[in-house]
A and B are shown apart, each in its own frame.
Chain A
């Protein structure tokens, strides 16, 4: 799975926008959207919000968690806990990236938010690496990790699986080698 695919999935998340146009309810396969009244907040998927934003048809209202104070709190919690803490949105990283890239003018303190989210991300990825490391070094058969987001799983998946495969190969090569040795002993 590519990270762009994860981002694509994230674009299905709903976000509030304030349109500056008037449009009746629109009927899409994924559900009905609207009606759009100028000046009145309405929930739309991120992909539509970004599209409208790029066409300057709306302002995006940042999600409630995209707030410096709340993110700071979360960052502290994330750093304090050894396990993964629940994230505000299953697509927090993707949403942050998308919204800040395309609608940073609608989001107060965009730079701070970007930094904070990156901090949280880094902390979590570090934790993830750590747990992968201990998982391998202790030769565990399975492990349980709560509160991981799709993007985080996706980040480590390729590397972890490949390396596990590789290690398996190495081990299994080692095994026949030793048995061969035994065999030759005969």
Chain B
């Protein structure tokens, strides 16, 4: 049963309203909270007659030219109809009457009141009153028995009572309602209705159902219900024929049942879901008029109930055949009730008048478009089945004696199909809008406010004009245009102003472009859109303009007015923005449900390589919100704001996901305050918006000032230091994605800014690292280190080792290694591309070392030999065959590294060419000096390479303390030596800086096998003792130690030096050891020397004790390091 739902119109001010038809059905009569009774000549009557009956009118009844109203002065009065002259007062109550009704003949009026009484008054003689007492709460509603014997009333005490009017006594009472203390608190108005004509049933709305009580027996004979009906029924009304019952609910749904079949034949929904508080049938039965608590009046037209009640049997087959296709589409409407929308599909255009009182939120209404047809086609089969079966079903129930067994099976399974829909309800799709504009219904509005300027529209009595103003007057001077075409949309760029108007009856939708940057004299062009196509959204980019139209079309124009590409959009456009060569379109992907909008987004890039970056992915919005702003940051990253105030930004580095970067509502003081976003900048991070006190949109006057909000990622626990830093870091990462985007799309980028931000990020990481260290979260530290760049990792390693976290430092060194490898893998590619560059780097890397490299080369060779010898000697001291073997193996293994890459960052790189290696060294070398303080670095990257190597640090840690006595006699000598290395006299800082750099060339030079140890080994080994790495180090650094602490004794110097040496990183120490090895020339002499060394060691008991203590801890690898510290403490 298709019916057309007419759009709602404003009737009365907010509050309870009532409606009825006059006897002829010519007028609709309403009353409302404003105390007026309005007489409408149909729904479209723009100038209804009105009768003022009091301050408020609670209820009205109309019959035989008499209008009875219950008004706020506690009376029930009569006015003549349609003249509206007062015709006396019928009765009075101690408080206001709540409901008045006529009996069927119009001779009597019944009125229920809040003073618990029901009065029945003769219209002709108001002195003849009958008072029905017995309710214990305000009376909700009253209704006459059409045969005038009884009267039914419902009350807030929860009872529905049938009275015998003559005897003024209660006949029966059903406690079916919820108890309340006042009408205003009652959940439902519980308007009763007695079936006209036969007077067989009394309909009582009970919660979501309607109970039917049979007259006479007063039995509850049946219940009308609808699965879709989930809200309390407020009011019921019988059709004049008595076969149909209409009900209006608190939630705004309107339902019509066929009482005989108990089937729901019509379902409609109030377009805004307001409470239906009154409804009335047209005397012909073809229309239902209803009002809501917001004072609006609506109408359902085209109800075919009166015809269908008797002759459906005859009509159905004939009609069905003839109107098969019509039915399909007609019923389409019904079906969409379930699967698409109870909403506005039947209300083609909304009256502007209704837009007055509702906010921006709910006037998003889109005229139904082609979408509907598609849906109909899909659901074809179901529809035809449904219509057929329903009519059959009706027939069956229509005549009681017909029990056609043929129809039953067909009807039975299909009947539930229609009403079983209980799922979510669709939301009205959001209207298209221009981001940065205020709503079009305002007389003074911003048509566009963006980073370029402001376009204001004035549309009042005197003036219909557009003002264009530029933030930067250097772009163009301000413009004032008369808006003769009625433009409603505008966009503004550095090049042009784009304006568009919707089509009118005579004129097509027009696009006007003021191309003020044009160098010729023609600064304007205009385009008419094809008939029936309206501009919905428009935007300007650099050198182009885009227009999305109602025909789901996107038209591109060049800025000079040439038509360019055209393509179809997947859905109705919501809004659109352009920036440079990018175009961002948001459209309706599908109907949203339960207050959500289902939006899709497309991001296109023009320019040299035209492509689609985001192809129609869903646009994530906050729950129950709609899009309120869409734009690009000044740097060209898409972002948008939803009505809840959440700003989201595209994260290009995470597969084009959207990250919320700010919630503007968090900074609002009051609930009704909003921020109206006008622009977003990534560098500096600025959210430019206009604070709107108590509104969503700013007024044009006084001129609003832009405020700047900071961004804040909604990370957890941002009140803690950790959370803050995490937030800062990720925000920084997110807001600097545009660098890579810009460079990839061929724009210049601010290199300084980029390096600045990278530095800032790394600093943050380092801070977080330090914090996690403090909190003993070493795993977390490692995770953080993964995010760091390689040179910062080395810093972290130093930090870790200084704070005595050996395990951590070790893990970090692995990471450092990995990172170095990564860089190396990347570099060869780079170098292929730009060999010159790498060449420069390489030379610069060597340049540093050349200063001292030459001078040292000889000595280093000696050192290496000696170191080798020493290591062997140390292992022998241990006296364990196994370990010696292992150590021998180690030395074998270590040596290759020592020769190829002493700085030990690149032990696994052998296959990669020399050129490839050069850079990582450089990186490392530059990283170390950056950690200006001589931070300790104890970890050995080589340690974990293989288990067998573990012994090398072991042996060293054991060996180091043992060198104590050996060093003593050497102490004065190094002094003279250090003089030769003047460059390292700047203190330990300088020394620690230099060592990593210097070792590298040393390594390179050690590769030359022919370098013989000349006279110098003899010098060094004059005591027949091999020199250790430490000794070499001491020689070089003694000066700095003495400089730092001049008053130290010789032994103290050595102790201090040992401490410092130990704080060197493992690879550094290794390199020193290697140098020492290089000095020991012959393997043949080794053993002797070692013995001698061993003997010397034994002389010193104290050191031996230390040695023993360190030996005990040897078994574990990390503990060996710890032992080093244990010693240090001593």
Q: Tell me, yes or no, whether A binds B.
A: yes
Whether, in the assembled complex, A173 has its beta carbon less than 8 Å from a beta carbon of chain B, the answer is no
* A39 adjacent to B706 (CB under 8 Å): yes
In the bound complex, residues from chain A placing their C-beta under 8 Å from that of B707 are: 41
A21 and B474 within 8 A (CB): yes
Interface string of B708-729 (1 = CB under 8 A from A): 1000000000000000000000
Contact at B474–A22, with CB atoms within 8 Å?
Answer: yes
Chain B residues with CB under 8 Å of A41's CB are 705-707
Q: A22-B472, A41-B705 known; 14 other A-B pairs, CB under 8 Å?
A: A18-B705, A18-B706, A20-B470, A21-B473, A37-B471, A38-B473, A39-B451, A39-B453, A39-B472, A40-B471, A40-B686, A40-B688, A41-B706, A108-B702
**In the assembled complex, A61 has its CB within 8 A of some CB on chain B:** yes
Known: A40-B708, A41-B706, A61-B705. A20 touches B688 (CB 8 A): no
Distance A123 CA – B252 CA, assembled complex (angstroms): 63
Tell me the smallest distance from the CB of B689 to a CB of chain A, in Å: 11
- On whether the beta carbons of A20 and B473 are closer than 8 Å, the reply is yes
Contacts of B702 in A (CB 8 A): 108
A40 vs B471: C-alpha distance when bound (angstroms): 8
Contact B473 A40 (CB under 8 A): no
Question: Could you pull out 20 A-B pairs where Cβ atoms are within 8 angstroms?
Answer: A16-B705, A18-B706, A20-B470, A20-B471, A20-B472, A20-B473, A21-B473, A22-B474, A37-B471, A38-B470, A38-B472, A38-B473, A39-B451, A39-B453, A39-B471, A40-B688, A41-B705, A41-B706, A56-B473, A61-B705
Within 8 A of A (CB), among B665-692: 686, 688
A61's closest neighbor in chain B, by CB? B705
A57 to B474, CA, bound (A): 10
Residues of A within 8 A of B474 (CB): 21-22
Instruction: Chain A residues near B473: list those with CB within 8 A.
Output: 20-21, 38, 56-57
- On chain B, the residues within 8 Å of A20 by CB distance are 470-473
Given contact pairs A39-B451, A40-B688, A21 touches B706 in the complex (Cβ within 8 A): no
Cα distance, A20 to B451, chains bound together (Å): 12
Q: Using a CB-CB cutoff of 8 Å, which residues 24-71 of chain A contact chain B?
A: 37-41, 56-57, 59, 61
**Across-interface contacts of B706 in A (CB, < 8 A):** 18, 39-41
B residues lining the A interface (CB < 8 Å): 451, 453, 470-474, 686, 688, 702-703, 705-708
**Least CB distance, A109 to chain B, in whole angstroms:** 10
How many contacts A-B (CB < 8 Å)? 35
A16 — which chain B residues lie within 8 A by C-beta? 705
Nearest residue, chain B, Cβ from A40: B706
- A27 to B: closest C-beta gap in Å: 17
- Within the assembled complex, what's the spacing in Å between the Cα atoms of A41 and B708? 9
Chain B positions within 8 Å of A56 at CB level: 473
- Contact check, B471 vs A38: say whether CB atoms are below 8 A apart: yes
Beta-carbon nearest neighbor of A106 in chain B: B703
* Bound Cα distance from A40 to B702, whole angstroms: 16
- Docked CA distance A57–B472 (Å): 9
CA A40 to CA B704, docked complex, whole Å? 11
For the complex formed, measure the closest distance between the CB of B263 and the CB atoms of chain A, giving whole angstroms.
Answer: 63
C-alpha gap A180/B884 in the complex (Å): 119
A133, B453: Cα distance in complex, Å: 58
Q: List the B side residues contacting A59 at CB < 8 Å.
A: 703
Q: From B708, which residue of chain A is reached at the shortest CB distance?
A: A40
5 nearest interchain CB pairs?
A: A39-B471, A38-B471, A38-B472, A20-B473, A108-B702
**Roughly how many angstroms separate A18 CA and B472 CA in the complex, as a whole number?**
10
Q: How far is the CB of B473 from chain A (nearest CB, A)?
A: 4
Q: How far is the CB of B688 from chain A (nearest CB, A)?
A: 7
Q: How many residues of A contact B (CB 8 A)?
A: 15
What residues of B have a CB within 8 angstroms of the CB of A108 in the complex?
Answer: 702
Cβ of B708: which chain A residues have Cβ within 8 Å of it? 40
What residues on A are CB-neighbors of B472 within 8 Å?
20-22, 38-39
Q: Which residues of B contact A61 (CB under 8 A)?
A: 705
Chain B residues with CB below 8 A from A38, complex form: 470-473
CA distance A21 to B475 in the complex (A): 9
Give, as a whole number of angstroms, the nearest-CB distance from B635 to chain A: 14
Q: How far is the CA of A16 from the CA of B705 in the complex (A)?
A: 10
How far does the alpha carbon of A124 sit from the alpha carbon of B106 in the complex, in Å?
Answer: 79
List, in ascending order, chain A residues with CB within 8 A of B703's CB. Answer: 59
Q: How far apart are the CA atoms of A18 and B470 in the complex, in Å?
A: 12
Across-interface contacts of B688 in A (CB, < 8 A): 40
- What is the CA–CA distance of A110 and B461 in the complex, to the nearest angstrom? 28
Specify which chain A residues have a CB less than 8 angstroms from the CB of B451 in the assembled complex.
Answer: 39
Q: Chain A nearest CB: distance from B750 CB in Å? A: 13
B476 to chain A, nearest CB (A): 11
B1051 to chain A, nearest CB (A): 57
Name the residue in B451, B472, B686, B688 with the highest tally of chain A Cβ atoms < 10 Å from its Cβ. Answer: B472
Chain A residues with Cβ below 8 Å from B471 are: 20, 37-40
Give A174 Cβ to nearest chain B Cβ, in Å. Answer: 62
- A37 contacts across to B, CB distance below 8 A: 471
| Bound complex: CA A114 to CA B830 (Å) | 69
Residue of A nearest to B684 (CB): A35
Shortest Cβ distance from B737 into chain A, in angstroms? 22
CB of A52 to closest CB in B, whole Å:
12
Most buried by B among A39, A41, A61: A39
Name the residue of chain A whose CB is nearest to the CB of B678.
A39
For B702, give the chain A residue with the smallest CB separation: A108
Identity of the chain B residue whose Cβ is nearest the Cβ of A35 in the assembled complex:
B684
Q: How distant is the Cα of A61 from the Cα of B704 in the complex, in angstroms?
A: 10
- How long is the Cα–Cα vector from A135 to B474 in the complex, in angstroms? 59
B-side contacts of A18, CB under 8 Å:
705-706
Shortest CB-to-CB span from A39 to chain B, Å, is: 3
Alpha-carbon separation in the docked complex, A37 to B474 (Å): 12
- CA of A139 to CA of B262 in the docked complex: distance in angstroms? 104
For the complex, give the distance between the alpha carbons of A108 and B708 in Å: 23
- In angstroms, Cα B451 to Cα A56, docked, is 20
Q: Which residue of B lies closest to A18 (CB)?
A: B705
**Chain A nearest CB, measured from B879 CB (Å):** 72
Q: State the CA gap A18–B705 with chains docked (Å).
A: 8
Given the complex, which residues of A lie within 8 Å of B470, measured CB to CB? 20, 38
In the bound complex, residues from chain B placing their C-beta under 8 Å from that of A22 are 472, 474
| Chain A min CB distance to B669 (Å) | 15
Write out the residue numbers on chain B whose beta carbons fall within 8 Å of the beta carbon of A57. 473
A40 and B472 alpha carbons, distance in the complex (Å): 10
A18 to chain B, nearest CB (A): 7
Query: In the complex the two chains form, what is the Cα distance from A39 to B706 in whole Å?
Result: 8
Query: Which residues A1-35 have CB closer than 8 A to chain B?
Result: 16, 18, 20-22
In the assembled complex, the Cα of A37 lies from the Cα of B683 at a distance in Å of 13
Name the CB-closest residue of A to B474.
Answer: A21
For B475, the closest partner residue in chain A by CB is A38
- Contacts of A57-98 to chain B: CB distance below 8 A: 57, 59, 61
CA distance A85 to B136 in the complex (A): 64
Q: Smallest CB-CB separation from A20: which chain B residue?
A: B473
A138 CB → nearest B CB, Å: 50
Residues of B within 8 A of A40 (CB): 471, 686, 688, 706, 708
A103 CB, min distance to chain B CBs, angstroms = 13
B453 CB, min distance to chain A CBs, angstroms: 8
Tell me the complex Cα distance, A59–B702, Å. Answer: 13
CA A22 – CA B472 in complex, angstroms? 7
CA distance A22 to B475 in the complex (A): 10
Task: Name the distance in Å between A148's Cβ and chain B's nearest Cβ.
Answer: 32
In angstroms, Cα B786 to Cα A25, docked, is 37
| Chain A residue nearest to B681 in the complex (CB) | A37
User: How far apart are the CA atoms of A22 and B474 in the complex, in Å?
Assistant: 9
Output the nearest chain B residue to A107 by Cβ-Cβ distance. B702
CA distance A108 to B703 in the complex (A): 10
Alpha-carbon separation in the docked complex, A119 to B903 (Å): 80
B681: shortest Cβ distance to chain A, in Å?
Answer: 9
Q: What is the bound-complex CA distance between A16 and B708, given in angstroms?
A: 13
B964 to chain A, nearest CB (A): 59
Across the interface, name the chain B residue whose C-beta is closest to A56: B473
Instruction: Give Cα distance in the complex from A61 to B705, angstroms.
Output: 8
In the complex, what residues of A have CB within 8 A of residue B705's CB? 16, 18, 41, 61
A94 shortest CB reach to chain B, Å: 23
A89 to B703, CA, bound (A): 24
Q: Which of B470, B705, B708 neighbours the largest number of chain A CB atoms within 10 Å of its CB?
A: B705
